[in-house]
Structure 1
Amino acid sequence: VVNFTGGDTWVPSLKCVKRGGTILVCGATAGHDPKEDLRYIWSFELKVIGSNSFYHEDLSALMDMIQAGTLKPVIDKVLPLEQASEGLRMIRDREVMGKIVVTP
């Protein structure tokens, strides 16, 4: 699981990872002080790692995975540039599952 938002998405992220799974934490836009039952981490032998994705080699590896087809980003909506503010609103209001792509 990749969790970019933190906050109220943290506990559902813990609960949906299979035994031995990994949670990659990349941000906390919805809150940085999550409340969770830590037993999920050791009971299901989870790995929790963090990444600020600012390192060139990490971003390059991510792009290589996408190009190779081993990681496919989920695109929820494709919007024209004129509707970019609507796309931001949809993200803010959590109306999308995945990414919004804005085209020129």
Structure 2
Amino acid sequence: MTALLHSHIRQFGTAADGRLFTGERNGQELPKLVATPLAGTPYDLRHAAVSTWLNGEVPAVTVAEWAGHSVEVLLKVYAKCLDGEVVTVRQRVEAALGHRPG
């Protein structure tokens, strides 16, 4: 994760005062962006990324590593974010049992 942060800073830099994130209070965000749910706080962006990875079927072990969590903490905090997981899991179990969709 640290290498990704360093790479991001090298590519995009920081604000003049050294901040990584600028926000509505200092006039750096466009009104259209501020209106999105992803623009609230850096934590909101992190939460959105972790939720997207889980819903994108990235293995929980990998997501936990990327997020700096244990798998136990990851699933405790983010299990409610999984969308459509029941359908996907049932399909995997049926496939493992040799069921072919009709």
Class of the TM-score when normalised by the shorter of the 2 chains = under 0.3
Which protein has the larger Cα radius of gyration, Structure 1 or Structure 2?
2
User: What TM-score does the superposition give when structure 2 sets the normalisation length?
Assistant: 0.26
User: What TM-score does the superposition give when structure 1 sets the normalisation length?
Assistant: 0.25
